[in-house]
Chain A
Amino acid sequence: MAQQNRLIEGGRIARDSVINFSYNGKTYPGFVGDTLASAMLANGIDVIGRSFKYSRPRGIVAAGAEEPNAIMQLGATEATQVPNVRATQQELFAGLVCQATNGWPNVEFDMMSSLGSVGASVMPPGFYYKTFMYPKSMWNTYEKFIRKAAGLGRSPLEADPDRYDHYNQHADVVIVGAGPAGLSAALQAGRSGARVIIADEQAEFGGALLHSKESVNGMPAMAWVASVVAELATLDNVIMLPKSTVNGYHDHNFLTIHQRCTDHIADRAEANVSRQRMHRVRTKWVVLASGSHERPLVYGNNDVPGCMLADAVSTYINRYAVVPGKQLVLMTTNDGGYQAAFDWHEAGREVVAILDTRSYKGDQTSAVINRARELGIKVLTGSAVVEVQGSKRVSAVSISSLNSQGDKLVGDVTQLSCDTVASSGGWSPAIHLSCHTGSRPVWSDEVIGFIPGDTVQKQLIAGAIGGAFDLQTALAQGTKAGAQAASNAGFDIDLDAAAPTAESVAETAPMALFHIPHPKETSRAPKQFVDLQNDVTAAGIELATREGFESIEHVKRYTALGFGTDQGKLGNINGMAIAAKSMNKTIPETGTTIFRPNYTPVTFGAIAGRNCGELFDPKRFSAMHQWHLDNGALFEDVGNWKRPWYFPQPGESMQQSLERECLAVRDSAGVLDASTLGKIDIQGPDAREFLGRVYTNAWAKLAVGKCRYGLMCGEDGMVFDDGVTACLADNHFVMTTTTGGAARVLEWLEIYQQTEWPELQVYFNTVTDHWSTITVTGPNARKIVDEVVDDIDLSNEAFKYMDWKAATVMGVPARIFRISFTGELSYEINVQANYGMRIWEAVMDKGAAFNLTPYGTETMHILRAEKGFIIAGQDTDGSVHPYDLGMGWAVSQKKPFSFIGKRGMAREDCVKEDRKQLVGLMTVDPKKVIPEGSQAVDDPKQAIPMTMLGHVTSSYYSACLGHSIAMAYIRNGHKRMGETVFYPQADGSAIEATICSPIFLDPKGERQNV
């Protein structure tokens, strides 16, 4: 029967809009305005999943974010799968497709359940903790089993087709929660002119008023809500965000709000519309009006479908016109719980009995008791449900009388037939966001719950989050907090504005009761669940305390209480109360419970925003990038730069391309796009002095027109960058850095100038992007460059190695640096990047006659390794100083100022004999290339663990030399020239190599000086 639990009238649903949804392959009807949960209940769906550990059937318990069981897998297509959606928070839309997350192979017939106690014996309490302790090797086995059994949901196997984005917001006042307190606050703050954002996780504003029968300002509560929303809508300074969960409250009043923009409309968002949006909000003041969650009571078999929260029952009846059963037994510790029975009765269904756990003296009574009796409802005071019968649905309850403390049963256990048990153990303030700020919550005996503690944030609270559970107080606190927040943010406002009014009813004090005693001791009684999502029982918590886990944080980790997506919204307080009682402590003595972001799960899409696909990370391109693309380059990532790696020709393997490119450079000429190297313009009367302090070598006498190579070290004496710096004028230099090190070097120069040597007059400016650098290198480089240069003499006499000259290249002014990273005759042509492509093309054009070959970073690496030139970051790792590199020639110990690194490299450990030193390697088998990272040993036959001497940093096959070459660290290597070492490999073999100088080609450096 379709929607057999739907009332014929009432509720905030559109009865003329019937929509169908699919659950576990079967189609059901519902209405616009339903949540998935209310529609499932309307259709009489009792079992919506199986439990994590024991695989017990579970039903819907709650009506909001606190729902522990109804965790669904949503999505009509593979690409739109979303795991872990709470049915209670998902608005129904036409064509919604969902499946139970938990339950294998299906919720109705469950293999684990039929295996009886297998689940329980495999996973006793403490499973999580013990598994991680030992034996480690078993985790893979367990994990597979747990994941399948727990059904943690699954991620889609296809790319998510929807858009998600981020939105930065700044506000004066952010109000979290649009219930009575939040709305009253928004009215005040909004009227003050402050920039206000009010966010609420529900589909509509109103909070608890959405299912309340109370009045505000003499009108039905939702009429008042409508009037407030209408006024807020007229204020330009107020942003209203329904369907938006404030999931995180971070430092300095920064909040993350997860807005579900189209999740209520369809399986997919429309093109170009964001499905979800993450608001990143910085605000001057925050008003937390996040309300509270009803707390269930803990009793035997309290997880059988049909066991629900009292307020959830009211919500389903009043807001959705759904009565989730036929015969209700209500158990409550407080007056508020009675409302569920009144609503049930009014809906025309049978209230079997109200069990009020409180003992009343003599013929003492109360307003709610009187009202129940007027309605003909049986009220049993001092009574409780001790156990439920039934498996897939409640069939009956065992009840008993309690003593006045609620810790002992009195008299006989009797039975009542029913199909629904609603319980109310009072209300737990929703303090999650307050906890995110690091504020420790405080226990209040009066509230019977934790309330927000002291905070350094600019934050106020209003309503149930602070324990103000009655409507009148919530409205008053909201009004005051809204005005105060706006005033604190600097807006002129009456701090004593009148609050909306509601009826206040005198209540009998609630009872602090959490765990209903059972005739048997807890460990032998039917399971009494504390945390339904993680299958944590009262017995499990008692076991944890017996095993010595006394802090609640330890109990949590031992039992998994409050883990997962649930974060203990229903179970935490009950769990703490049970732990406290078993240790004869009070709840605050047991510890406070805290919460971390996020409050409810956030999709990865919303976290990533638009930082995905092509926009995942910026790609930096040189001015010649299009040419590289057009000419078939493959690219290598260097920092964010896309640098040509090599330029394969059709049919070539990578090795063939590299050999061709290398030989072209050695035999004729090659060209490299070197634009990505960091370039820093340095000016000032003290520029030269500054260079002398940050480089290890001398700069005092570098003449205008000259270039010099330098090593840069940290204060520890270890090399971190290198490059060539040219003297452009007396006070003017341009420094090059490694491609990846540019930003770091600039910040390094700045920190010393600004904090250590502010008296040195020097300015640093990045010009990396301003210049395009085209390196022409090889024996024919001069001939090629001569073709493109209009005006200068390139002869070796006129333009020496390590000089730079201003020139005009094909009409474009340029600076040409005669420096070399290949060991060949080289010219680096620098032109303003707007002309880079033009000059590159001209060079290629003129170079064609000389087989000018474009080459990439991989070829560059081989060419420089043949010359033994280091690459900072590849051949250095922050643990080597210039002497380790055999580059003592680049250190001037005579400079008057103690340059950065000088003292560091003089430390005892840095000057000892047996440091690892950079050497060259020639393999005995000339074809064998040693994998980079391989470790050297003297004797490959020694027992494992072997004594390792150092690792290979660079290793290539050199086509030019016809031999495999490598650069490597070897302990005391500079004194071991000519000796043999071995590189054991994973396959058991060992590569034999001879230690040599790392300068494999042209040791005298004649080729670059021609």
Chain B
Amino acid sequence: MSDSENNSAFNYAATVNCMDQRPAQQRQIEGQSPLQHADLATLAKAQLGQTGSIQLTELKLLGHIILRGNLDNPGFSAGVKLTLGLALPGTLQMVSDADISIRWVSPDEWLVVVPGERSYEIEQALVNNLQGHCAVVNVSGGQTILRLEGEDVQKLLQKSVPLDVHPLSFPIGKVVTTVFAKTQAVISRTGDQQWELVIRRSFSDYVWLWLQDCSAEFKLVITE
């Protein structure tokens, strides 16, 4: 057991390595989303103006930050509120404002999604504002978000995830981590017919293939 046990308010920032992982802006180096090879932008242009029963948009190159901490540690929960302006959501809840969203992942884990260009600024602020035992982990390179919208999205999800996506069981604002086809996703309902899937980079091509296949009987439109 460590010395810090009696000191839940030790200076977190001093104990970890937080690094800006994005190239300096003047270098004008653009990142590549996990679905770079699918070239969704060209598909979206080709389908411009079309409406489908399922619209797919990649919310790409955002900042994804995993937050770990104990809600009993005020140096953690207060630090998050102070930094993000949002309180940590409770079990299976997602909160968001214009720029930032927080998804509950587990009793001691949340996923914070922020604009890509602010990811280091916010990660650093979190590191500096948190006290005691917690963890701030940048996972921006490891995942991407797909937004699905339309009348047939619920049916698509029924083909893909085992849990109940009926509005009675899955209201707006709920988030779950679950099985998605043969991989997994963090799934949230962000509107009556709008959903977001957070998926892992290495599985993103599989998910992309799966979504196209699942939508074959519907009309899938890619939008930007």
Instruction: Tell me whether A and B are bound partners.
Output: yes
Against B, the Cβ 8 Å flags (1 = close, 0 = not) of A593-621 are 00000000000000000110011011111
Interface membership of B24, Cβ < 8 A: yes
Question: How far apart are B218's CB and chain A's nearest CB, in angstroms?
Answer: 9
Asked if residues A614 and B209 are in contact (CB atoms below 8 Å), the reply is yes
Question: How far apart are B16's CB and chain A's nearest CB, in angstroms?
Answer: 4
Asked if residues A763 and B15 are in contact (CB atoms below 8 Å), the reply is no
Question: How far apart are A536's CB and chain B's nearest CB, in angstroms?
Answer: 41
Q: Tell me which residues across on chain B come within 8 A of A835, comparing CB atoms.
A: 23, 29, 31-32, 141
Contacting residue for B182 out of A611, A626, A683, A806, CB 8 A? A611
**Contacts A167-B158, A765-B68: A681 and B4 contacting too (C-beta < 8 A)?**
no
Q: CB within 8 Å of B: which of A611-665?
A: 611, 614-615, 617-623, 625-626, 640-641
Q: Tell me which residues across on chain A come within 8 A of B210, comparing CB atoms.
A: 610, 615
**Contacts A769-B200, A813-B23, A837-B32: A280 and B139 contacting too (C-beta < 8 A)?**
no
Asked if residues A811 and B29 are in contact (CB atoms below 8 Å), the reply is yes
Asked if residues A623 and B34 are in contact (CB atoms below 8 Å), the reply is yes
Asked if residues B213 and A838 are in contact (CB atoms below 8 Å), the reply is no
Interface membership of B14, Cβ < 8 A: yes
Q: Tell me which residues across on chain A come within 8 A of B2, comparing CB atoms.
A: 685-686, 689, 760-761
Interface membership of A274, Cβ < 8 A: yes
Interface membership of A728, Cβ < 8 A: yes
Interface membership of A393, Cβ < 8 A: no
Of the listed stretches B45-53, B145-153, B162-170, B188-196, name the one at the interface; the rest are far from the partner chain.
B162-170
Contacting residue for B37 out of A626, A813, A836, CB 8 A? A626
Q: Tell me which residues across on chain A come within 8 A of B169, comparing CB atoms.
A: 170
Give the complex CA separation of A810 and B27 in angstroms: 9
Give the complex CA separation of A889 and B47 in angstroms: 62
Contacting residue for B213 out of A168, A615, A676, A683, CB 8 A? A615
Interface membership of A479, Cβ < 8 A: no
Q: Tell me which residues across on chain A come within 8 A of B32, comparing CB atoms.
A: 623, 834-838
Contacting residue for B1 out of A274, A619, A730, A759, CB 8 A? A759
Interface membership of B181, Cβ < 8 A: yes
Give the complex CA separation of A673 and B27 in angstroms: 25
Interface membership of B99, Cβ < 8 A: no
Interface membership of A526, Cβ < 8 A: no
Interface membership of A264, Cβ < 8 A: no
Interface membership of A166, Cβ < 8 A: yes
Asked if residues A274 and B142 are in contact (CB atoms below 8 Å), the reply is no
Give the complex CA separation of A589 and B216 in angstroms: 55
Question: How far apart are A271's CB and chain B's nearest CB, in angstroms?
Answer: 8
Q: Tell me which residues across on chain A come within 8 A of B22, comparing CB atoms.
A: 812-813, 832
**Contacts A618-B183, A623-B32, A765-B135: A732 and B164 contacting too (C-beta < 8 A)?**
no
Q: Tell me which residues across on chain A come within 8 A of B15, comparing CB atoms.
A: 683, 685, 729-732
Q: Tell me which residues across on chain A come within 8 A of B214, comparing CB atoms.
A: 610
Give the complex CA separation of A815 and B20 in angstroms: 11
Interface membership of A893, Cβ < 8 A: no
Q: Tell me which residues across on chain A come within 8 A of B158, comparing CB atoms.
A: 167-169
Give the complex CA separation of A134 and B127 in angstroms: 72
Give the complex CA separation of A163 and B61 in angstroms: 35
Give the complex CA separation of A362 and B32 in angstroms: 95
Interface membership of B72, Cβ < 8 A: no
Interface membership of A226, Cβ < 8 A: no
Asked if residues B135 and A163 are in contact (CB atoms below 8 Å), the reply is no
Interface residue tally on B, bucketed by range:
35 or more
Of all chain B residues, which has the CB nearest A831?
Answer: B21
Contacting residue for A619 out of B33, B139, B205, CB 8 A? B205
Of all chain B residues, which has the CB nearest A839?
Answer: B29
Question: How far apart are A620's CB and chain B's nearest CB, in angstroms?
Answer: 4
Interface size on A, residues (CB 8 A): 66
Question: How far apart are B211's CB and chain A's nearest CB, in angstroms?
Answer: 11
Asked if residues B10 and A195 are in contact (CB atoms below 8 Å), the reply is no
Asked if residues A681 and B135 are in contact (CB atoms below 8 Å), the reply is yes
Question: How far apart are A835's CB and chain B's nearest CB, in angstroms?
Answer: 6
Q: CB within 8 Å of A: which of B36-93?
A: 36-37, 61, 66, 68
Interface of A is mostly: mixed
Q: Tell me which residues across on chain A come within 8 A of B36, comparing CB atoms.
A: 626, 837
Give the complex CA separation of A812 and B134 in angstroms: 27
**Contacts A170-B166, A730-B14: A618 and B29 contacting too (C-beta < 8 A)?**
no
Give the complex CA separation of A763 and B206 in angstroms: 29
Q: Tell me which residues across on chain A come within 8 A of B139, comparing CB atoms.
A: 765, 767, 769-770
Give the complex CA separation of A689 and B5 in angstroms: 13
Q: CB within 8 Å of A: which of B96-138?
A: 108, 133-135, 137-138
Give the complex CA separation of A831 and B19 in angstroms: 11
Q: Tell me which residues across on chain B come within 8 A of A812, comparing CB atoms.
A: 22-23, 29
Q: Tell me which residues across on chain A come within 8 A of B183, comparing CB atoms.
A: 618
Interface membership of B201, Cβ < 8 A: yes
Contacting residue for B135 out of A618, A619, A763, CB 8 A? A763
Contacting residue for A769 out of B29, B142, B161, B213, CB 8 A? B142
Interface membership of A242, Cβ < 8 A: no
Q: CB within 8 Å of A: which of B175-190?
A: 181-183
Interface membership of A1008, Cβ < 8 A: no
Against B, the Cβ 8 Å flags (1 = close, 0 = not) of A742-773 are 00000000000000000111010111111110
Of all chain A residues, which has the CB nearest B201?
Answer: A769
Asked if residues A729 and B217 are in contact (CB atoms below 8 Å), the reply is no
Of all chain A residues, which has the CB nearest B143?
Answer: A769
Contacting residue for A834 out of B61, B203, B206, CB 8 A? B61
Q: Tell me which residues across on chain B come within 8 A of A622, comparing CB atoms.
A: 202
Question: How far apart are B189's CB and chain A's nearest CB, in angstroms?
Answer: 15
**Contacts A617-B182, A811-B23: A833 and B206 contacting too (C-beta < 8 A)?**
no
Interface membership of A684, Cβ < 8 A: yes
Interface membership of A504, Cβ < 8 A: no
Give the complex CA separation of A665 and B29 in angstroms: 30
Question: How far apart are B20's CB and chain A's nearest CB, in angstroms?
Answer: 6
Asked if residues B141 and A621 are in contact (CB atoms below 8 Å), the reply is no
Q: Tell me which residues across on chain A come within 8 A of B34, comparing CB atoms.
A: 623, 833
Give the complex CA separation of A976 and B168 in angstroms: 71
Q: Tell me which residues across on chain B come within 8 A of A167, comparing CB atoms.
A: 158-159
Contacting residue for A813 out of B20, B68, B143, B166, CB 8 A? B20
Asked if residues B16 and A732 are in contact (CB atoms below 8 Å), the reply is yes
Question: How far apart are A762's CB and chain B's nearest CB, in angstroms?
Answer: 8
Q: Tell me which residues across on chain A come within 8 A of B61, comparing CB atoms.
A: 834
Question: How far apart are B101's CB and chain A's nearest CB, in angstroms?
Answer: 19
Give the complex CA separation of A477 and B133 in angstroms: 61
Give the complex CA separation of A212 and B16 in angstroms: 78
Interface membership of A939, Cβ < 8 A: no
Q: Tell me which residues across on chain B come within 8 A of A834, comparing CB atoms.
A: 31-33, 61, 140-141
Q: Tell me which residues across on chain B come within 8 A of A280, comparing CB atoms.
A: 162
**Contacts A610-B213, A619-B206, A729-B17: A769 and B133 contacting too (C-beta < 8 A)?**
no
Q: Tell me which residues across on chain A come within 8 A of B134, comparing CB atoms.
A: 683, 763
Contacting residue for A641 out of B37, B202, B216, CB 8 A? B202
Question: How far apart are B112's CB and chain A's nearest CB, in angstroms?
Answer: 13
Q: Tell me which residues across on chain B come within 8 A of A684, comparing CB atoms.
A: 133, 135
Give the complex CA separation of A437 and B186 in angstroms: 33
Interface membership of A272, Cβ < 8 A: yes
Asked if residues A770 and B142 are in contact (CB atoms below 8 Å), the reply is yes
Q: Tell me which residues across on chain A come within 8 A of B162, comparing CB atoms.
A: 168, 280
Against B, the Cβ 8 Å flags (1 = close, 0 = not) of A196-227 are 00000000000000000000000000000000
Give the complex CA separation of A917 and B2 in angstroms: 39
9 contacts between A and B (CB under 8 A): A619-B205, A620-B202, A685-B15, A689-B1, A732-B15, A765-B135, A769-B141, A812-B22, A837-B36
New A-B contacts (7) at CB < 8 Å, excluding given A640-B202, A832-B140: A615-B206, A619-B205, A621-B205, A623-B32, A623-B201, A761-B5, A832-B141
Binding site for B on A (CB under 8 A): 163, 165-170, 195, 272-274, 280, 282, 610-611, 614-615, 617-623, 625-626, 640-641, 676, 681, 683-686, 689, 728-732, 759-761, 763, 765-772, 806, 810-813, 815, 831-838
Pairs of residues from A and B, 10 with the lowest C-beta to C-beta distance, nearest first? A834-B31, A769-B142, A770-B142, A833-B141, A731-B15, A832-B141, A620-B202, A728-B17, A685-B4, A170-B164
